[in-house]
Structure 1
Amino acid sequence: MLALLVPLLLIHASWSGKVARASGAKGSRFVCTPVPADTDISCPVETANRVQSTSPQEEELRSTIIQLRETILQQKETIVSQQGTIKELNSKLARCEADARSRGSARRKEFGKNTMGDLPRDPAETVEQLGKTMQSLKDRLENLEQQLRTNTSGGPLPNDLKDLLRRRLGDLESQLLTRVSELEEEKSQLYNETAAHRQRTENTLNSLLERITELEKSNSAFKSPEEFKVSLPLRTNYLYGRIKKSLPEMYAFTVCMWLKSSASPGIGTPFSYGVPGQANEIVLIEWGNNPIELLVNDKVAQLPLAVSDGRWHHICITWTTRDGFWEAYQDGERLGTGENLAPWHPIKPGGVIILGQEQDIVGGRFDATQAFVGELSHFNMWDRVLRPIDISAMANCSAYMPGNVVPWVDANVEVFGGATKAALEICEDRLFES
């Protein structure tokens, strides 16, 4: 009997408590629930606190979400920065195209050089960097999924939290893929435009160079490479011509030329050849009231020539190291010979031939009082002594023999300081004079 009364009393007490708590609420419903006799019916505060507390796994996932959110913000800043880089690239390209259009004259550029200037970083680096970032995020996603699958607490994480993480990571991956695709397209367009611009520039330069070459050929007044003269109209220390070729070592030579001078006193220096250590290796000079002189290794021989009458004259000089024997010809006639001029001295190679000036150092330090004033043509040089019959044939215009060491051709003669080259048919000009 006592065992039956105890559950009834508990039910009654529970019922009375619920009625008392709900007496002030209108329209409330009360449900009677049987409670076992040994159950503690006090308020389960500790249980509620345990339900409300957060597990360590959830805290870790929340921390991961915060980190991913920061990563997304950083990637957004990176994308904005790369947009600025692309704009800067486009701006530099536009400036290069504007410079190319406004350039009045063009210079041929060496192939392979970078004509675009100092460009910003290659967009390919941006794409590669974003690819690495995306791969890093993928790795983190895989690690996170692995943690979800191997939760050490033994209990499953909430499905809504898993879905949230997957959605956010999926959105981030989609954004990165979209941006990488855009950058790839922009990079391709930029490279295509740059390559096309460079090709257009090179084509334009090539066309200009070809046109200039054609004009130079068409405007050349020389009927043949040797039919020209060098004019030296003033007695200065800066007008001169220069032979591009040098001399080999020689044990004999013949030098011939046509010259015209009316300078006084003396015609000056029609030509000089200087080598390191000896500026007067070979010199032909008429200075002041002295006769024309031939210098070989700074040794002197006086020549019986007279060419200062303002008319064209053909002169030839021969020399051989054997006994230092020399000959002097004017207009095909041998006027004098001699010997002991620098005997057994070989002509040194690698020097400089100057027309119209005497050299005090190799290729320079000219003296205006020794300058040639007049015109020169057909300066030829051989490494042997020519026969008198050959010299006479050239002087009479019955034959022409280009020098085997120094031939008189347009491409072999440079002029400086106001000296000029002009067309000349020497034999017709001499016929007109006579």
Structure 2
Amino acid sequence: MTQQSHKMEKLLLLMVMIVSCCATPQDLSDKVFVFPRESKIDHVKLLTSQTKFNSVTFCLRFLTDLTRNYALFSLAVPSYNNGFLIFMTNSQGVIKVNALDEGDDFLSLALAPNTWHSMCTTWRSDNGLAQVWLDGKASIKRFIKAQPITGFPVTILGQEQDSLGGDFNEKQSFVGFITELHMWDYVLSSAEIDRYMKDGAFSPGNVFNWRALSYEMNGLALVEEESAVM
């Protein structure tokens, strides 16, 4: 990393710490993020001051009618635009997972349109293995990259980052609903993931917690009552 890049990362980290301190975590129980249009502007930025991830578990529930490619979750760090990325493709049953700009395809995980889906994705830096759970069914494990994610993260819902915090492409934007989002800096057990999938009692995310979430809304991204969209 160049001296200029190091200074920029420290500045970005300071900015997010200030924002995170000022942002009051919100309890979004019975709420839904709504992304109502194809756009290169609309997105939600999730706020955290954590700068190292040895492992990741990311879970959410979502509904969309899209049949094109779209980003479901995008975490970038200064050295990697795709620090951790979940990217849905228009290929039947193919979900792409990236860590540190490297990734693999998870196959035979077909999504029905206009249907609520529950998804969890795990990745470990010690052995580089990732796995996807969709509606209670687990994929095989695939190797991506064995290296921790380090650096100030910019975490975006609704868009895919081609540079840190920007260069969005409206043809990769998410349109639909997202709810019950959680992220942990460790790999959940299969029993915990199963409890999440079945809407049972589980330990909320220690990085992002839907019941105490710090975030920024941008563009036409909205928060609505779950009862208004179900």
Give the structure-1-normalised TM-score.
Answer: 0.44
Match of 2:182 in 1: 380
Match of 2:78 in 1: 276
Between Structure 1 and Structure 2, which shows a larger proportion of helix residues?
A: 1
Match of 2:110 in 1: 306
1:332 to 136, 139, 145: 136
1:289 alignment partner, SS class: coil
Quick one: distance in 2 between partners of 1:241 and 1:346? Answer: 25
Match of 1:420 in 2: 222
Alpha-carbon spacing, 1:411–1:346, altered in 2? closer, same or farther (3 Å): closer
Deviation digits for residues 207-265 of structure 1 (CA, Å, limit 9, x no counterpart): xxxxxxxxxxxxxxx9x533311111111101111102243312111111111111012
1:372 alignment partner, SS class: coil
Match of 2:163 in 1: 361
1:390 alignment partner, SS class: helix
Match of 1:195 in 2: none
Q: Is the 8 A contact 2:71 2:158 kept in 1?
A: yes
Q: Is the 8 A contact 1:261 1:307 kept in 2?
A: no
Q: CA deviation at 1:422?
A: 0.9
Write the mapping of 1:104-119 to structure 2, written as runs, cut at 5 A. Answer: none
Percent of pairs with identical residues: 26
Is 1:249 aligned to residue 80 of structure 2? no
Write the mapping of 1:192-231 to structure 2, written as runs, cut at 5 A. Answer: 225-231=28-34
Write the mapping of 1:119-130 to structure 2, written as runs, cut at 5 A. Answer: none
Q: CA deviation at 1:276?
A: 1.0
Is 1:260 aligned to residue 63 of structure 2? yes
Is 1:295 aligned to residue 89 of structure 2? no
State the number of aligned residues: 203
Deviation digits for residues 371-394 of structure 1 (CA, Å, limit 9, x no counterpart): 111111121111111011111111
1:322 alignment partner, SS class: coil
2:201 to 368, 393, 399: 399
Quick one: distance in 2 between partners of 1:315 and 1:302? Answer: 15
Query: What amino acid maps onto 1:353 in structure 2?
Result: T
1:336 alignment partner, SS class: coil
Quick one: distance in 1 between partners of 2:126 and 2:158? Answer: 29
Quick one: distance in 1 between partners of 2:132 and 2:152? Answer: 25
Match of 1:183 in 2: none
Q: Is the 8 A contact 1:331 1:392 kept in 2?
A: no
Runs (4+) off by over 4 Å: none
Is 1:315 aligned to residue 111 of structure 2? no
Q: CA deviation at 1:417?
A: 0.8
Q: CA deviation at 1:410?
A: 6.1
Q: Is the 8 A contact 2:76 2:153 kept in 1?
A: yes
User: Unaligned regions of 5+ residues in structure 2, if any?
Assistant: 1-25
Alpha-carbon spacing, 1:332–1:247, altered in 2? closer, same or farther (3 Å): farther
Q: Is the 8 A contact 2:78 2:151 kept in 1?
A: no
Quick one: distance in 2 between partners of 1:294 and 1:247? Answer: 21
Larger Rg, first or second structure (1 or 2): 1
Quick one: distance in 2 between partners of 1:297 and 1:270? Answer: 17
Quick one: distance in 2 between partners of 1:346 and 1:272? Answer: 16
2:194 alignment partner, SS class: helix
Q: CA deviation at 1:327?
A: 1.3
Q: Is the 8 A contact 1:332 1:393 kept in 2?
A: no
2:174 alignment partner, SS class: coil
Q: State the structure with bigger RCO (CA 8 A, min sep 6), 1 or 2.
A: 2
Quick one: distance in 1 between partners of 2:81 and 2:66? Answer: 24
Q: CA deviation at 1:334?
A: 1.0
Q: Is the 8 A contact 1:271 1:355 kept in 2?
A: yes
Alpha-carbon spacing, 1:257–1:411, altered in 2? closer, same or farther (3 Å): closer
